[in-house]
A and B are shown apart, each in its own frame.
Chain A
Amino acid sequence: MTLRVTSPQFKENARRALADRQLQKALGNVEQNFIEKRRQVAAKLPEFDLLRDAARDLKDHTLAHLDLYLEAYERRVTAAGGQVHWAVTAEEACGVVLDICQRLGARLVTKGKSMISEEIGLNDFLLSHDIAAVETDLGEYIIQLRHEPPSHIIAPAVHLNKEQIEADFRRVHTGFPAERNLEEPTSLLAEARSVLREKFLAADVGITGANFLVAETGTSIIVTNEGNGDLTQTLPKAHIVLASVDKMVPTLEDVSLFLRLLARSATGQEMSVYTTFSTGPRRAGDPDGPGEYHVVILDNGRSAMLGGEFREMLRCIRCGACMNHCPVYHAVGGHAYGWVYPGPMGAVLTPSLVGIDKAGHLPNASMFCGRCEEVCPVRIPLPKLMRHWREREFERHLSPAAMRWGLGLWAAFARRPRLYRFATRIAMKMLSLLSLGFGRFRWLPFARGWTKYRNFPAPEGVTFQAAWKRREKKA
């Protein structure tokens, strides 16, 4: 039921992305917009790095006692008149949502932004049961029109340019005058809003994600910049929250710590425009609110991560800073990663959730430049975790045979210094002679990946160790 995984074709995906001029133009905006804003807003908060330490420690604490917090959370939700549903797999989660929708006779569902919904492939599943799910976050709405998955965890349509979106709107929104002006991004937003307004009013069920679940109060929290989440969850008969187990936070006080980090890391804002707290269904005397309140808590492989070397990944608060700062993401965009979660966080999480045999490229396609770890608000050591995946692959003999063979040969030499010095002395002499005095190679048979795009400098011809020995003898 879940989104098709194209991660095994990462290399082809990447090649296509690199040749896509529209995409490359759009990716330039990622590089321009997010990084500088985050830098400025972080610089204005002297305790930013201390907050990051505190957030890391708090997440670690919560994960260490996750069972207790989840139980406490469920008790609070129940006390507030809501219901918690536990889903081990994506199929189970879809099934729970379908049951609720069918019981209420729902035909139309509105949705706030939820990566869990993408992970479980909810929209297609509901559609196959004649229930239409309409995305109300502008970015999600746009990619839904295009039948595309998101390319970024907080900016799902970041791979598109304004002109492409305008063309989609003209194609789909046939009820509007053809000569209308859609030049400005605000006019696009206004048009989407007027389309969505009817959906909000007509929807039977509203589904949102959750940025945090608060154990102390049984509250779910979403942050948005459009306010679409509020309409999604207050107007229909039922509100369904989709969340994964790692969203748990002990107290409301703790939430304030994460809120200070989240928007700053994500968009460079001090706070998102809307921070919405919901606890249970509408109470007697409330002016509005849903008649039913459900929380579907998804595991989908996460509890298996708790006890292992990828545990730290569960600290992730989905801010997107790691991909915003990733040179590989800037080069190929989110779709190349081939599943729901792109960039450095996806390179660690995707293999955990869909299997390293399918997602093996992702943790390998990294220079380990460390920029992601440098900005992660909860200090996840992303390069180290990617390296752990490479170790798993190596242990399970999943790494390519040519790579293993080359590495084995190299390691055999590197462990025998005398042999190494002898062999390299001869090899470098040969290579230097082969360069015919040009100082570089335009083509080398054993380094074609290199020489396809760059020259290879010719070695001086004498190794340093040999030259140094000579110098010592002379002295």
Chain B
Amino acid sequence: MAAATGSRPRVGLFVTCLVDLIRPRIGFAAAKLLEDAGCLVEVPSQTCCGQPAFNSGDRASARAIAEQVIAAFEPYDYVVAPSGSCAGMIRVHYPELFAGDPDWTPRVEAFCRRVHELMSFLVDVIEVERVDVIFDGTVTYHDSCAGLRELGVKTQPRKLLTSVGNLSLAEMKDPDVCCGFGGTFCVKYADISNAIVEKKVVNVVATGAPTLLAGDLGCLMNMAGKLQRMGKTVAVRHVAEVLAGMAQEPAIGEPAKAKRP
């Protein structure tokens, strides 16, 4: 499905700090999906979108980081992140950080329009209809909050998932209710966060699906960590891993494949 080389859109992959540090294979899965869709993928130097500072009330740091992100990613046709939370931070909240600053506002607005969450970029912008991969098994899908409510990501991942050969999707009860992660919330209010993630994984387990997918690594780590602590064997992955045909790798929190003796 590669487009003519001359017209290939240049995409700056904002891989997100968690994927960069904890699970790079999500970044590679995202890159593969984008390349398969005819994009030219590049990875400029990056750290974080600034959300931890923004949500902790430290606007000055958030703004400084935002300026850095804009400078690094401005040259691209599109900026894509495998995370609704980080894409939402940039697309929806960066304009708030620069509100009332006439030097920056037009620049920021022009930039933010080109920032997308991965699933919504593939389906809504590039208009990918299907992926040519096979996954044997049933999955259930959790809607992460920022992607769902700030960016309207809901049908797009499901559309691509149902095009995967042999895959069946079993919806859980309340897929759109928060998993209790909430960034620093999950350590600051650990008891409450635990009560919320407990309810979530009960709904996950009730589907009987052996695989749980979502589009944000923070939520995935939270749910995977809880499932494992409860002794459940549900494999937890980023939706991009399945769509890119990379689901044979160890799931989140699983040991690397046993080395040969």
Residues of A within 8 A of B (CB): 11, 14-15, 18, 327-328, 331-332, 364-371, 373-374, 384, 387, 389-395, 399, 403, 407-408, 410-411, 413-415, 417-418, 420-421, 424, 427-428, 437-440, 442, 447-450, 452-460, 462-465, 467-468
B20 touches A424 (CB 8 A): yes
B185 touches A450 (CB 8 A): no
Once the chains are docked, how many angstroms separate the CA of A282 from the CA of B58?
57
B228 touches A440 (CB 8 A): yes
Interface residues on B, range: 35 or more
- CB within 8 Å of A: which B156-210 residues: 177-178, 180-197, 199
Contacting A370 at CB < 8 Å: which of B52, B150, B250? B150
Name the segment of B21-29, B105-113, B117-125, B127-135 touching the other chain: B21-29
A464 touches B149 (CB 8 A): no
Once the chains are docked, how many angstroms separate the CA of A399 from the CA of B58?
10
Q: Known contacts being A421-B45, A437-B256, A454-B197, is A18 close to B57, with CB within 8 Å? A: no
Once the chains are docked, how many angstroms separate the CA of A204 from the CA of B256?
77
A428 touches B187 (CB 8 A): no
Once the chains are docked, how many angstroms separate the CA of A149 from the CA of B214?
40
Chain B at the A interface: SS class: helix
The 9 closest A-B pairs by CB, nearest first: A367-B182, A454-B225, A449-B187, A390-B57, A394-B57, A464-B24, A369-B178, A449-B190, A439-B255
Least CB distance from B212 to A in Å reads 13
Residues of B within 8 A of A440 (CB): 225, 228, 253-255
Least CB distance from B143 to A in Å reads 10
B65 touches A459 (CB 8 A): no
Once the chains are docked, how many angstroms separate the CA of A408 from the CA of B52?
11
Q: At the interface, yes or no: B50 with Cβ under 8 Å from chain A? A: yes
Once the chains are docked, how many angstroms separate the CA of A370 from the CA of B23?
27
Which of A364, A369, A449, A459: most chain B Cβ within 10 A? A369
Least CB distance from B83 to A in Å reads 13
Contacting B192 at CB < 8 Å: which of A365, A395, A411? A365
B189 touches A365 (CB 8 A): yes
Contacting A403 at CB < 8 Å: which of B27, B56, B226? B56
Q: Known contacts being A331-B196, A467-B24, is A411 close to B53, with CB within 8 Å? A: yes
A464 touches B19 (CB 8 A): yes
Residues of A within 8 A of B15 (CB): 464-465
Q: At the interface, yes or no: B48 with Cβ under 8 Å from chain A? A: yes
B21 touches A428 (CB 8 A): yes
B222 to chain A: closest residue by CB: A454
B189 touches A387 (CB 8 A): no
A417 touches B46 (CB 8 A): yes
Residues of B within 8 A of A392 (CB): 57
Residues of A within 8 A of B189 (CB): 11, 14, 364-365
Least CB distance from A396 to B in Å reads 10
Once the chains are docked, how many angstroms separate the CA of A332 from the CA of B194?
12
